[in-house]
């Protein structure tokens, strides 16, 4: 059998290696229009920032190593220009010699990846405006930073690459401004969770402008003047475009293969395109959202690797299905870690899927062991308890917990299962009640009716004539900030001061993060109070959103 693979990196290289393990006699040809067939995309910003010093460490597999280890005919600097499906050939351009030729195939795997989005903004073609997707992109940016010594940089886009580039440029001593057209960074998480990230970014000395897209780029000496839709102008020596990527469907569309509604290559569960002899994998394809079942595009390395393996298996008759992508992701934002899996609340709303949510804050490990840090977990689950999504913002141990929650989603787990998980515990690593267990306890309490909750976005619209906000934190905590109009009765004094809590009003009880408020809630309910709710996520989450909103308003006020 002769198998041609178009494109390397995660999907194509994974498919090639798996094919050889399945058939020693197959003729396998991989075409790559660049010089590099397999490299660590996710490591590129850290090479620019200096955390990764050796450029060669980014190269996961070289063409020569691929040939030697797997006996694969690797042809770099070779661009596949078109596909002749009827004659089962591809037209290839040798980018060194300029020669074009045809290569036949029995089976074809498309792994063309995705391309950075470059919107038609005036001035966007200037030399010192960069995108980061490939090793040559990285080399160009690294050279500009090393030799050009830029003092100011603007990063357009607050996604994974944008935040990682912002951090790494800042580490190089560059003054960095992040511009994001949406009202938050990191689209996979919900607004209130992103607010914690906003505050953290600003605390590091970076400027962050939200809900303000780029209108135009102007030449300014050797630099760039970035004009935003608001009229604000930002001077920069370099600009990084990190707006996102779009599937590269040029070859597929030209060959008449079906393109999906999300503008990715349409594939069936076996990763076959509309032509059964052509498979497609990686960032170029549409996949099923594992939680809601709808078609989507999720460009992640892990799923691309699995797809490459599955496509190879299916070429040899395995009949293996790709069951969907749930979007499990994690990103480092300075010393903060942000992670997500499954569906966000905004996506569940858009899909009109019934859900319940909870917020918990737990330490990364036992509080009595030095170095414990808080982590905030948002859990999204169906009314029957099935876990639909999770988001975590914290420091240590975030990656471990998001992986547990991702596994729960993948295997159809419920919040009741989270309660029962037996997870590794020693004081330096966790608590006897792991943060995942705690998220399960709180969520199950809500579903069982042991606790009724209210959320951060409902507080300011409460009728204060009919509602009492009860702050059960210690007085010194309340003095540092509280919700306006609250009554402060520390939890330990609640029973003896119960007469101060009116019975003819709804009681909204809150503390720093929710645990003390839950205890107070149970106390009040058992003492005959009929209308009580606990502020999920506590004052800390509420205050984080208020602080982030104020920062945005202050930025707008400066413009006038």
Cβ neighbour number for residue 484 with a 10 Å cutoff: 8
Residues 6+ apart with CB under 8 A from 147: none
How many Cα atoms are found within 13 Å in the side-chain-facing hemisphere of 181?
13
Beta strand extents in 163-289 (DSSP E only): 175-180, 207-210, 214-220, 223-228, 233-236, 238-241, 245-247, 278-280, 287-288
| Alpha-carbon span 421 to 439, nearest angstrom | 11
- 501 contacts 483 by C-beta, under 8 angstroms: no
Phi, psi of 309 (to 5 degrees): -65, -45
Catalytic status, residue 42: yes
Say how far residue 128 (Cα) sits from the centre of its chain.
27
| Alpha-carbon span 145 to 547, nearest angstrom | 33
The catalytic residue among 1, 42, 126, 259 is 42
Residue whose structure tokens are 């609250």 = 486
- 487 contacts 520 by C-beta, under 8 angstroms: no
| Alpha-carbon span 257 to 251, nearest angstrom | 9
Closest listed residue to residue 446, CA positions, set 327, 551, 355: 355
Please give the positions annotated as active site.
42
């Amino acid at each position: 059998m002769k198998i041609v693979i178009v494109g390397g990196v995660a999907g194509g290289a994974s498919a090639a290696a798996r094919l050889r393990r399945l058939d020693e006699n197959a003729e396998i040809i991989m075409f790559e229009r660049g010089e590099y067939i397999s490299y660590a995309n996710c490591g590129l910003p850290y090479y620019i920032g200096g955390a990764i010093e050796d450029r060669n460490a980014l190269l996961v597999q070289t063409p020569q190593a691929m040939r030697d280890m797997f006996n694969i005919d690797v042809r770099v600097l070779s661009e596949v220009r078109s596909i002749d499906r009827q004659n089962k050939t591809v037209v290839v351009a040798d980018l060194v010699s300029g020669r074009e030729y045809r290569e036949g195939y029995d089976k074809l795997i498309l792994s063309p990846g995705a391309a950075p989005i470059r919107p038609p903004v005036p001035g966007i073609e200037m030399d010192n405006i960069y995108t980061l997707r490939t090793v040559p992109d990285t080399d160009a940016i690294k050279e500009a930073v090393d030799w050009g010594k830029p003092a100011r940089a603007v990063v357009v886009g607050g996604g994974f690459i944008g935040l990682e580039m912002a951090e790494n440029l800042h580490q190089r001593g560059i003054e960095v401004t992040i511009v994001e057209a949406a009202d938050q960074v990191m689209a996979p998480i919900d607004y209130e969770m992103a607010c914690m990230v906003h505050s953290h970014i600003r605390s590091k000395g970076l400027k962050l402008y939200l809900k303000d897209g780029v209108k135009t780029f102007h030449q300014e000496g050797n630099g760039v003047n970035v004009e935003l839709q608001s009229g604000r102008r930002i001077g920069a020596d370099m600009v990084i475009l990190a707006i996102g990527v779009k599937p590269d469907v040029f070859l597929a569309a030209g060959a008449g293969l079906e393109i999906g509604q999300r503008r990715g290559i349409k594939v069936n569960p076996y990763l076959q395109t509309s032509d059964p002899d052509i498979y497609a994998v990686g960032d170029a394809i549409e996949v099923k959202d594992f939680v809601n079942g709808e078609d989507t595009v999720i460009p992640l390395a892990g799923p691309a690797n699995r797809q490459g393996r599955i496509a190879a298996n299916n070429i040899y008759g395995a009949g293996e299905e790709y069951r969907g992508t749930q979007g499990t992701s994690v990103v480092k934002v300075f010393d903060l870690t942000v992670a997500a899996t499954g569906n966000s609340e905004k996506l569940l709303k858009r899909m009109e899927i019934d859900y319940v949510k909870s917020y918990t804050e737990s330490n990364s490990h036992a509080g009595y062991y030095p170095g414990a840090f808080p982590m905030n977990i948002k859990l999204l689950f169906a009314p029957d308890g099935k876990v639909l999504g999770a988001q975590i913002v914290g420091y240590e141990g975030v990656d471990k917990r998001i992986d547990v929650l991702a596994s729960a989603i993948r295997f159809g787990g419920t919040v009741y299962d989270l309660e029962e998980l037996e997870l590794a515990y020693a004081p330096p690593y966790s608590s006897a009640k792991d943060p995942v267990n705690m998220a399960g306890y709180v969520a199950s309490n809500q579903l069982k009716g042991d606790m009724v909750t209210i959320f951060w976005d409902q507080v300011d619209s409460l009728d204060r004539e009919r509602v009492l906000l009860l702050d059960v934190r210690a007085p010194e905590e309340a003095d540092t900030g509280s919700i306006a109009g609250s009554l402060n009765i520390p939890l330990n004094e609640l029973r003896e001061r119960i007469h101060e809590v009116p019975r003819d009003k709804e009681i909204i009880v809150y503390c720093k993060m929710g645990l003390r408020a839950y205890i107070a809630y149970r106390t009040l309910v058992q003492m005959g109070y009929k209308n009580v709710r606990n502020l999920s996520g506590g004052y800390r989450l509420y205050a984080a959103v208020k602080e982030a909103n104020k920062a945005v308003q202050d930025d707008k006020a400066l413009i006038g």
